[in-house]
A and B are shown apart, each in its own frame.
Chain A
Amino acid sequence: MTKPASVLIIGSGPVVIGQAAEFDYAGTQACRALREEGVRTILLNSNPATIMTDPGVADAVYLEPLTIASIERIIEVERPEGVLAGLGGQTALNLAMEAARAGVFERHGTRLLGTPIAAIEMAEDREAFRDLLDRIGQPYAPSVIVEGETDEERRRMADLALAEIGLPAVIRPAFTLGGTGGGIVDTEEAYRERVRAGLRLSPIGQVMIERCLVGWQEIEYEVMRDADDTCIAVCSMENVDPLGVHTGDSIVVAPVQTLPDPVHQRLRSAALAIIRALGVEGGCNVQFALSPDATEYAVIEVNPRVSRSSALASKATGYPIARVAAQIAIGRTLAEIPNAITKTTVAAFEPALDYVVVKLPRFPFDKFPTADRSLGSQMKATGEVMAIDRTFGAALNKALRGLEQAGAGFLAEDPAWGPTLEILSGGLHDGAADDHHEISGELLVGPDGLLTDDPSRAVASGRAALLRRFLTPSDSRLWRLIGLLRRGVPAAELQAITGISPWFVGEMERLVELERRLGEEGSDLTDGLLISAKRASFGDRDIATLTGLPVAAVAARRAAAGIRPGYAMVDTCAAEFAAETPYFYSTYAAAGSPPEAPPVRRPAALVIGSGPVRIGQGIEFDYCAVQAADALRREGWEAVMVNSNPETVSTDFDASSRLYFEPLDSESVLEVIAAETAPGDPPLPALVQFGGQTPLNLAAALTEAGVELPGLTMETIDLAEERTRFAALVDRLGIPQPAGGMATSLDEALVVAERVGYPVIVRPSFVIGGLAIDFCFGPADLERQLRAATVITEDRPVRIDAYLEGLEVDVDGICDGTEVLIPGLMEHVERAGVHSGDSVAVFPPRHLSAAEQSLIVDAITRFAIAIGVRGLVNAQFIVREDGVYLLEVNPRASRTVPFLSKVTGVPMVELATRVSLGATLAQLGWSGGLLPPPPVVAVKAPVFSTTKLRGVDPLLGPGMRSTGEVIGIHSDGDVALAKALLAASLRPPVPGVDGALALVTVADRDKEQLPDLAAALVRVGYRLAATAGTAAALRALGHAVREVAPLGEEGSGLTPILDLIASGEVGLVVNTPAPRSGPVRDAAAIRLTAVAEGILCLTSMETATAAARSLDPAIRDRVTEIRPIDAWVRRGA
């Protein structure tokens, strides 16, 4: 194959559950690899928070919606010789397949590079794939495919499938992201519901019903093949959770731990045989189920592209899979591609690990406490954390420390488990009492697997059922299992119930044993036990908790005994060859060994990353961390990166001078700083502005240890973050702010709320399973919420702020201490009260007067200078007729920095980094004040993963719920908005010739916006349906309305509202909540049903109106007008 001169790379779009930062990593690697090969790279991605879309990564960047129209238009303009889709996840692959089927590539004489379309089709069409497996003699779980032209046909096939496969069964909709819509079902009712939903979610209307191989192990191989038929297995991975839990939600270990060599080789050979038979050219993930006695296996699935697993495998081994896959795609072979790590060997080899890697998923249930927390074949995690050490226990412990989640350490136990844990362990020692419980039927099991006193909640009874349900796969199973081991429940019993391989449970038991001994020795802690605990990666904090010693005392004992970690290199070859990879992990197993590298040359700084992707702290902050490291290196500094997230660009060993894969806790970060500080030098300074809140939270510990934080002091951080001092400073500067205050008791809260006036926003500092942040509309509402959902005490105060309705504005600036450069302001479409991360935001503002803009600029400028920040500063304002109010200031990078950097062309992170090192804006050729806006409008729209999380209400509010974002750019603001909504999947379907139905039920306070919404919907061909109140309002406006029966009033002759939603007639649901508790709950049922039915549900009048307008043909037709980002920004219209 001849090398193409230019290649179009399709990105994966916004971050959603199942498709996150790993594709920014893959795409960035691919762009860089192809540029090094002299290939012109053209990139399409709708996600502005990515590194891959930054200037300098690709030759032409299209920040445009991921549609066939965009692809075709780019191909027309740019004439790429090839298209690379295997690096943009399922999104890119699906899009490329559609484009291929639509003849786009053929029409323009270009071709899909890498794995051929036929191979992708065979891997993804389950029937064709099974034929292939039959042909090459590879076993798979018995399964039946359900599809059909009519409902009747589909129902018949579903019946046949059920009869053949039986229950429990695994439902797998074809071609959905992260297994969306899939799951294990064990009742006929659940079976039917899930099949119906799956058929709708599958873009080809196909669902596979598969026999559930309960209790089998899940083993994965990341394999690669080139056009010369050379095949390698880069990494083997063993899931701790047995089959049934999506691998993205599983605890995963690399390399395989419990398999004898013949079993491992059998699976490895099978994986290679499969990619040979498919004809993969690039990377591929192959998943197997292995019977508990390891004598039988079944192929589960194959992903003929780079994936989350391949990103994990790359970070686990040091082998750059995406980079090599891109090189293979343009015709190079594994035998000729150099090994980027050793530089002396080639890519045709298999990494040898001399360490253990553990990956843990990071779940969003802290944001969605009401969601269904059980785990199955539908992925629910938003991110992941990886840890490296020399034992499974140590790596697991380190990964737990890296989760950065309250209640996620090894020692963590939810207090609510107490009685259940006691009963489950107590029964062992006191069989009689347990029997008594069971006989008298008192041992009732709730749906959460916990003991319950309420018979109406009970789903089962008896100890056996309680143990089984307690350990059902869920986000907390690991901690529940450890809790039982801690109480002496035998490992064998837990192993039998969970199906987790006995070896893993045994290793956890060893950790529990260490924990017990630490508790036993207490303050008499011996050096020997301390060494054992550190070799098992117990943090000083956990050791302190267990021994009762202060953390500082534990650290002091370590220092006195010389117990410090060593740092070992990830080199792909287990030290067989000399390597200069700047990629390290800490391990006490290397304590005292000669260092593998001396501390970096000064000047140098540490960049602290942002840890696992979670709602509220996503890849925007990885973008900032990578940019900061880059800026340091361009300044001639060495940049040392520390992070724990295997998906990201920042943990690519190329992204910094030196990479440390460590949990982002103060102990780990301080040890890295110590290792990178030569005797006599001051501690390595640390940049904490770029990784989101995570590094900022470490600022105090770093400062205390004498580490300089360029651009920041604790005083600066405190003035911005400590609410009382913040409020005082804002007052002193004469900047208006909403009234508010702190309360440490319910009575105080009522007083504060009365003073500031309802409605108020309540922000608790500690939450138990309720709403984290919410509005309260009156004293009763406030009392109910505080009692139901929060803890309010002296040391856990609640913040109460007046809720000001108005236009919300986000602003980011760079302050050098004397002036503040403001690249741009972003105006929210939704009225204040919707979290800024969930708002549609427009740049430049469309509704702000020059005077209002200058008030904002003046306020942020004065505040930033007053707190003394040198670097990035972010603030939120509310603009009302009565003034411009300052809500919040963050002396760090914000979520909007990548977006603004791209649309303004201001290298914000680079400037901030250089300013924090001491430069002034003037020296860098910039000056303070607001930059004039470019002649385009750029719109940021949020992207939600609600369809993946059962039981999550899509209602927008003050707590963030979106997982990603997209951009829409155009010289016409309405088109830009339409593009963003389209890319964010927030645009309702275009009504066909028969029209479509929009179900509109809005709260009274939203009715004044109803005319605009209704007119817009009707104009684009929607018919309207509504419940009585909204229907009356619509009729009064002169619209025809189909009235439906509200919840609880079925039987009135009108179609009940939920039935209508499920009928298939509805294309859009607009539902805005009433400010009271009852209807809110009812409305939740409406929204949840809409989500379950896959119908777009909008909960803000502003978004809904904008969405309806975007369907206007005059606007709709122009969303295909696309340009490279620099063409938009530089030349505008």
Chain B
Amino acid sequence: MSAGPNGRPLHPLAIPADAAVDPRIGSHGPALLALEDGTVFAGISFGAAVASGGDIVVNTSQTGYQEVCTDPSYAGQVVVMTYPLIGNHGRVRDDDQSERPWLRGLVVGHATAAVLGRARQIVHLLRSSGVPAIAGLDTRALARHLRETGCQRAIITAPGHVDPEAAAAHARAVVRWEDQDFVGQVSARAAFEVGDRGPLIAVVDYGLKANIIRSLRTRGARVRVLPHTATAADVLGPEVAGVVLSPGPGDPARLDAPVALARAVIEDGRPLLGICLGHQIVARAAGAETRRLRFGHHGANHPVRDNGTGRVQVTAQNHEVTVVGDSFPAGSGFEVSQTNLNDGSVEGLRHRTKPIETVQYHPEGSPGPLDAVEVFDRFLERVRVAEGAR
């Protein structure tokens, strides 16, 4: 028996495994999802047969579970998918966003099977990467609960470990998200280059997604990926025509070296694009503050208004931290160029004089809409202009 808030049982019914997990992908029997506030949900374990925990976040994308599973920005987090059927089309190899899943656990309503071989099910990737997953709980009830409490730590127990007290204690023992260094885990170990033609773009990898490289490459750029430890000298090589600071996991407040790097790039004056974590790093480099949102933005339907044109675009988002719009020191040269229509948070920055733009959302989608891919067009246009001027 599991217990909800106020000791109220959340799931009085012991759900048969095959009611929540397609027998074609197999499951490991009952397990629990426990939150640090003591709320416990019973479900069926179906990923790797281990316990694992982290901060729990809710993603509302209807498509793109594979991209979510392989997005390095989810490092250290337990991800709840509100769309109730996860696994329908299996795993399309080319759609992975990095070489492995980084999330700590996956929570779904129903784990479904694609009509494909075993190796091409998403669950196979989770199992081979040691990521536990749980199905069969009311993900909507969980999302509603988290909406009320804000973010929390959570644990998915190993199969058969169904003591709620122990599970909740385990959740409370998980190291806090903001106390962990994730960028160091997910970043490339060494620099490498992709492509042999076009302007060279230095991309600093804090948790890079494959579609960012692809978006630059399809626009005719050569890409040099650098590890997160790259120095200004590494990044601002003579051939480099522009710099991208990538998205990634964790709290930018911990990232002193990348912030220093961003300061050097701003100083240098070459075209700079910051995405998500990269955007937050640039903001901190400019002297602005960042703060944690109550429960982050994770989905594919966030409306963002361009403060110049008034036009609204639907964007993909995945972040816990936001830039505090009115915290820029006088004379920073930055202005808030885009705003979230739902909560008014900062979605983009532009430098008044330098070819610098940053966005909080993911113009590369993956998953999510590609309405804002023109961010890359604008960046490469600035690169070309700057090259012409050189």
Contact = CB atoms under 8 A, between A and B. Distances in A.
Interface in A263-317: 264-265, 268-269, 272
Nearest to A492: B115
A396 B4 CA distance: 31
Nearest to B68: A261
A577 B84 contact: no
B12 interface: yes
A506 B115 contact: yes
Contact of A574 (B5, B67, B82, B138): B82
Contact of B109 (A562, A566, A589, A591): A589
Contact of B369 (A268, A354, A566): A268
Nearest to A588: B13
Nearest to A254: B62
B184 interface: no
B231 interface: no
Contact of A261 (B9, B14, B64, B115): B64
Nearest to B298: A576
Contacts of B159: none
Nearest to A536: B19
A354 B60 contact: yes
A265 B63 CA distance: 9
Interface string B88-119: 11001001000000000000011011110000
A262 interface: yes
A391 B312 contact: no
B15 interface: yes
A335 B305 contact: yes
Contact of B16 (A392, A531, A576, A591): A531
Given A261-B66, A589-B84, A594-B4, A574 B140 contact: yes
B60 A573 contact: yes
A355 B312 CA distance: 27
B312 A335 contact: yes
B141 A590 contact: yes
A627 to B, nearest CB: 33
B66 A349 contact: no
Interface stretch (A22-30, A40-48, A227-235, A796-804): A227-235
A350 B341 contact: no
Of A255, A333, A505, A506, which is in contact with the most chain B CB atoms at under 10 Å from its CB? A506
A354 B84 contact: yes
Contacts of A256: 62-63
Contact of B85 (A257, A265, A561): A257
A725 interface: no
B367 A349 contact: no
Interface in B331-346: 341-342
A574 B92 contact: no
Given A590-B141, A593-B138, A593-B141, A229 B113 contact: no
Contacts of B53: none
A349 B61 CA distance: 13
Contacts of B24: 506
A352 interface: yes
A528 interface: yes
B84 A352 contact: no
A574 B16 contact: no
Given A262-B95, A531-B19, A576 B140 contact: no
B83 A230 contact: no
Interface residues of B, number: 64
A272 B370 CA distance: 11
Contacts of B67: 261
A596 B62 CA distance: 22
A415 interface: no
A594 B312 contact: no
A535 B64 contact: no
B60 A574 contact: yes
A577 B144 CA distance: 9
A289 to B, nearest CB: 18
Contacts of B313: 230
Contacts of B342: 345-346, 349, 577
A352 B138 contact: no
A341 to B, nearest CB: 13
B140 A590 contact: yes
B229 interface: no
B299 interface: yes
A257 B88 contact: yes
A842 to B, nearest CB: 53
A352 B303 CA distance: 13
Interface string A493-537: 001000000110111001000000000000000001101100110
Contact of A258 (B62, B89, B113, B369): B89
B285 interface: no
Contact of B14 (A356, A491, A528, A573): A528
Contacts of A349: 301-303, 314, 341-342
Contacts of B16: 528-529, 531-532
A594 B112 CA distance: 26
Interface string B289-304: 0000000000111110
A505 B83 CA distance: 20
Contact of A345 (B5, B63, B341): B341
A260 B13 contact: no
Interface in A326-361: 333-335, 345-346, 348-356
B197 interface: no
B8 A230 contact: no
A261 B19 contact: no
Given A260-B63, A592-B13, A350 B85 contact: no
A786 interface: no
Given A269-B370, A531-B16, A574-B299, 10 more contacts: A232-B314, A258-B88, A259-B63, A335-B303, A335-B341, A348-B305, A352-B299, A575-B147, A592-B138, A594-B10
Interface of A: 228-233, 236, 255-262, 264-265, 268-269, 272, 333-335, 345-346, 348-356, 390-392, 491, 495, 502-503, 505-507, 510, 528-529, 531-532, 535-536, 561-563, 566, 568, 573-578, 589-594, 596
28 contacts: A228-B311, A233-B314, A262-B95, A265-B369, A265-B370, A268-B369, A335-B303, A335-B305, A335-B312, A349-B301, A349-B303, A351-B301, A352-B82, A353-B83, A390-B109, A392-B85, A503-B114, A507-B112, A531-B13, A531-B14, A535-B19, A566-B138, A568-B140, A574-B83, A576-B143, A577-B342, A594-B5, A594-B10
10 cross-chain pairs, A with B, having the tightest CB-CB distances, nearest first = A261-B64, A502-B115, A593-B141, A574-B82, A261-B367, A575-B143, A352-B60, A350-B301, A574-B60, A354-B82
Interface of B: 4-5, 8-16, 18-19, 22, 24, 58, 60-64, 66-67, 82-85, 88-89, 92, 95, 109-110, 112-115, 138-141, 143-144, 147, 299-303, 305, 310-314, 341-342, 365-371
